[in-house]
Structure 1
Amino acid sequence: MNQAPTHTRQVRIMVTKKTRGAVALVVAAALSSLAACGGDGDTVVEENADGTTSITVATVASDSGSQAFYADSLGFFEDQGLEVTVKVVANVPDLAAAVESGDAQFALTSPTSVASASTAGINFRIVAGGAIYTVDNPGVWIMVPAGQDGITSVDDLEGKSIAVNALNTMPHLSTLATLDDAGVDVDSINSVTLDFTQVGQAFESNQVDAATVTAPFNYQIESDGIGTTMLSPYDAVNNGEDFYNTIWFGEQGFIDSNPEVVDTFRAAIAETNAWANDPANEDERKAILQEVTSLTDATMEDMQLLLFDDEVSPEMIQPLMDLMERFEVLPQPVDAASIIAGTD
């Protein structure tokens, strides 16, 4: 999923099957530790004196995380009787931490994060839809530096360094799937973890040979003339069929204790999605997104905005679980229905 601007130290990791398994165990251990010191998921949210209900939601400052900003700005939360504080975090792990600690009741993330938490014994559940992949609007791209010699196809990435936002995220796993499908030895790839905001600088300094970048950062790189797009790795996830790139989730105890809050939140997100997907609202949507992300006018002008969806079905989630199983990043398989609220 997309990440907001942040500054972290570059880490270089050679990806092998042994490394992938070790990373999965580390992630599971970290999530288990988080569960041990988490907040009270069974807390019942009380109505305010004016009849509204106050909650906090956590998201990232990007196109895929923008539903909360639209709902807040345009009054869709208010329409449902919700008084919402939108908490913006810099890193994907902070989203899970916000919900587990009780700092947020709902957060946006990738379905893969919910699956990882589930295998670590954390009862996160998907409550509402986020951004979806479609073959015409994938939202994630493999890019190479402008003027790069010798890399014109996926086959040319054999033995190269590729930047991803983090190991075992959808950008990373889908890139491995794309390479593997093309016959490239994925164990030859040197995966370099970089924030999406750092890819342009890495291209300019010849640190990496390619990068997998999500919208809107790919548009910024292209508008700056730093990199060019090859293809979308998400095409390899579900044979070009739609799936959820991001979803909204909460903790099972909170969901069970506050069904009306869940229903009103879902209704607000559905209202938001209908507005955001309407082409007539593109200019206003871009204006709100630009205020949050501070992207340049040139970037916003060229950007293809992501699509959102309401209905969360196992069929739209399971391909991501299958991809995680393919690259052995989960200790056991995950049935998508088991991590969707109301379907397990």
Structure 2
Amino acid sequence: MDGVLYRCKTIYARLFAPGEIMLSCAKLFRKGLAALVMVSGLLSVAGAATAAPLRVQIMPGNIASLYVYLGTSLGFYEREGLDVEVVHIANGPQANSALVSKSVDVIMNMPDNMILLKHRGIDTVAVVGNAVQYPFFLIQRKGLGLPTGQDYRSVMSRIKGKTIGVYGLGSSTDRFVRQLAKSANVNDADLKRAAMGGPAASVSGLVAGNLDVSVDVLSSGILVEHMGIGEFVLDCSDPVAQCPPLITEGGKTSLAYFTTSDFLAANPDAMKKFVRTHRKIHAWIKDPSNRVAFVNELKKILPAPALDNPDAYYADVADRAAAFFGTRVRLSALDAIQQSLVESGEIKSAKPLDDMVWSAVID
């Protein structure tokens, strides 16, 4: 500052009377600061304007949306040059409707929902994977007495007449339990399915005794075990369960992020940034040095449970999440899921799905 004023005085001494020099220099200095602030602000606005806007759907309070939560909370998207707007949508069919109506750009969904959409003439593309194990589990309330640690046929043969909570009738959770029942020769009419909307309501249903069994995500099962109100009764990622091959293979890409082919064609750079971001998030989760920070983020995402030792719950979720999530999309998994839709009668025949997996090279 002193150097600037000195140079200013030297110049102004040639133009002004001695008494006017300091006043003129002070004015010039103030104007210079104002100009600097204005230019800095314009540069900041220009930088913000370069961020690619992207509306991304999440399932509120559902660990399946973990990567989007982390991407916004920890600044992964921002650092990659994305301006992500999070859109809360409860289940897969609703997410499909939002994608078709263009009220959202990218949705996190199960491939079964997206394959059904493709068969209705809407071209959707999986741009990055989200889970490499089947995302849903059968969780029973305490005292129900269904066998644990056994194959799915043993479980399903004893589930007749029980009230089973699913997110929504026609949703992926509903389709999962119906597929298990059909493979185990259990009549669909023997399943009493109740639409619960999501994980929070499902857990409440088990607590209140309104549900016998819930079809839900891993964090819900871990929670009810820690609360002492229920337990996992079927986990298709466990070889002991011997789940139907189409479920096992389909589980290798059980969740992914999808957009429409039109949006992808118009916004390839934004989608490359999205994919790179999710790969970085995946690497961050896998890094043991981020364990404490990861658990702290889970505490923000999942409701605080009324437990004597909530930290143990979050630690268990972190352990399972590291194996559950992944960014790979397998065409073989999509083919298996499509075949299950053929067998259930929801589509008449299979069609090539190669164009449902984005093949662009990510730098």
Shorter chain as normaliser: what TM range?
Answer: 0.7 to 0.9
- Shift, 1:151, TM fit: 6.0
Q: For residues 288-303 of structure 1, what are the structure 2 equivalents within 5 Å?
A: 288-296=297-305, 297=310, 299-303=313-317
The answer to whether 1:49 aligns with 2:57 is: no
Residue type at the aligned position of 1:127: V
How far apart, in 2, do the equivalents of 1:312 and 1:339 lie? 10
Residue type at the aligned position of 1:118: K
> Secondary structure at the residue paired with 1:143?
strand
**Higher relative contact order at CA 8 Å, sep ≥6: structure 1 or structure 2?**
1
How far apart, in 1, do the equivalents of 2:325 and 2:232 lie? 23
* Aligned counterpart, 1:223: 226
* Aligned counterpart, 2:329: 312
How far apart, in 1, do the equivalents of 2:201 and 2:256 lie? 25
> Secondary structure at the residue paired with 1:157?
coil
- Shift, 1:239, TM fit: 6.4
How far apart, in 1, do the equivalents of 2:338 and 2:200 lie? 27
How far apart, in 1, do the equivalents of 2:295 and 2:159 lie? 34
* Aligned counterpart, 1:10: none
Native 8 Å contact 2:127 2:257 kept in 1: yes
* Aligned counterpart, 1:102: 102
* Aligned counterpart, 1:175: 177
- Give RMSD over aligned pairs: 2.6
How far apart, in 2, do the equivalents of 1:199 and 1:127 lie? 30
Q: Which has the higher helix share?
A: 2
- Shift, 1:334, TM fit: 4.3
How far apart, in 1, do the equivalents of 2:295 and 2:287 lie? 12
Work out the percentage of aligned pairs sharing the same amino acid: 19
Residue type at the aligned position of 1:230: V
Number of aligned pairs? 292
Native 8 Å contact 1:252 1:341 kept in 2: no
How far apart, in 1, do the equivalents of 2:179 and 2:91 lie? 24
Provide TM-score, normalisation by structure 2: 0.71
Distance 1:334 1:283, change over 3 A: farther
- Shift, 1:275, TM fit: 1.4
Q: For residues 37-186 of structure 1, what are the structure 2 equivalents within 5 Å?
A: 49-50=46-47, 51-60=50-59, 61-133=61-133, 138-149=134-145, 153-154=154-155, 155-186=157-188
Distance 1:70 1:281, change over 3 A: same
Distance 1:285 1:98, change over 3 A: farther
* Aligned counterpart, 1:20: none
Q: Which of 280, 284, 287 is equivalent to 1:278?
A: 287
Native 8 Å contact 1:178 1:236 kept in 2: yes
The answer to whether 1:254 aligns with 2:263 is: yes
Gaps of 5+ in 2: 1-44, 149-153, 238-242
Provide TM-score, normalisation by structure 1: 0.75
Structure number with greater Rg is: 2
